[in-house]
């Protein structure tokens, strides 16, 4: 008799790959259902459950494609990119990668960007929580310490670069409005996604703020940040702009720690 662990592994392999070589002989045939039919019931149930999860995580993409087309796409994704996680909430983590690489779907770049945006929102919701710091901490710094100041940003923060108006599709869907006209931007549009308290937030940022976030994430200090901003604006505008962005980041709950060089 096959041991339990081997049976479980064979059954899991069948559910994910529909290969019954290791499990088919362990299933009883009877007049009602053959072993193959019994296994097929569980295989279909497995796919339907995962499709339901994907529909919940990619609500707008599912609405845009329609039930039948989304289900067909989701089945192909589950087959080609079987989940490597035990937790079902991560089943959609590679959907945008699948859409980019699939010979059937790779031309639909709006779908890919919408999947990227919706998954970023989902990751923000389920991601690590962190306590934001108050802007009052800046007032405690000596003026000569500002140049060596760096910032730790919220662990859920992502900076997305979008070719299309995927965010507007998302907004139209939840506002129950007609789909907008598809736009392809001449320059990539930056959109940030993060978690504040228990909700996912997002907003567009301009090229200067996107660059600023990138170098802050890389650990650059305030003096280097201000020097780099001179590539985006006149020198006299740098300090007010940088301080304005910091104020916005504190209000958004993006800053979780202030660091000074020792």
Choice between 167 and 21, residue whose per-residue pLDDT is larger: 167
pLDDT in tens, 29-72: 665 656 566 666 666 677 889 999 999 999 999 999 999 999 99
Kindly give the residue spans of alpha helices, DSSP state H, lying in 30-181. Answer: 35-57, 59-65, 67-80, 95-101, 109-126, 136-139, 166-174
Please state, for a pLDDT cut of 90, what percent of the chain lies above it: 71
pLDDT in tens, 245-261: 999 999 999 999 999 87
Measured distance CA(153)–CA(241) in Å, rounded: 18
Q: Do the beta carbons of residue 118 and residue 55 sit within 8 Å?
A: no
* Cα first-last separation, the chain: 65
Assign 28 a pLDDT band (cuts: 50, 70, 90): low
pTM of the entire structure?
Answer: 0.86
3-state secondary structure of 3: coil
CATH 3.90.930 for the 129-262 domain, yes or no: yes
pLDDT in tens, 38-50: 666 666 677 889 9
Q: Per-domain residue ranges for the chain?
A: 1-107, 129-262
Assign 175 a pLDDT band (cuts: 50, 70, 90): very high
Measured distance CA(262)–CA(256) in Å, rounded: 19
């Amino acid at each position: 008799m096959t041991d339990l662990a081997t049976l479980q592994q064979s059954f899991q392999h069948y559910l994910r790959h529909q290969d019954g070589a290791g499990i088919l002989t362990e299933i009883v045939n009877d007049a009602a259902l053959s072993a193959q039919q019994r296994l097929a019931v569980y295989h279909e149930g497995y796919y339907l459950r995962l499709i339901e999860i994907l529909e919940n995580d990619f609500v707008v993409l599912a609405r845009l494609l329609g039930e039948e087309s989304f289900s067909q796409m989701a089945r192909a994704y589950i087959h080609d990119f079987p989940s490597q996680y035990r937790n079902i909430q991560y089943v959609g983590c590679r959907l945008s990668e699948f859409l980019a690489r699939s010979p059937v779907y790779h031309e639909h770049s709006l779908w890919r960007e919408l999947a990227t945006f919706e998954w970023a929102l989902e990751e923000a919701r389920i991601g690590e929580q962190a306590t934001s710091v108050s802007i009052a901490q800046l007032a405690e710094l000596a003026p000569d310490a500002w140049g060596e100041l760096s910032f730790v940003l919220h662990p859920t923060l992502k900076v997305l670069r979008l070719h299309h108006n995927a965010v507007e599709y998302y907004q139209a869907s939840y506002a129950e409005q007609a789909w907008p006209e598809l736009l392809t931007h001449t320059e990539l549009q930056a959109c940030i996604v993060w978690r504040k308290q228990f909700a996912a937030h997002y907003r567009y940022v301009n090229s200067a703020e996107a660059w600023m976030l990138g170098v802050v994430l890389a650990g650059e200090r305030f003096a280097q940040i201000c020097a780099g901003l001179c590539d985006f604006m006149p020198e006299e505008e740098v300090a007010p702009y940088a301080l304005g962005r910091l104020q916005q980041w504190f209000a958004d709950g993006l800053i979780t720690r202030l660091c000074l060089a020792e």
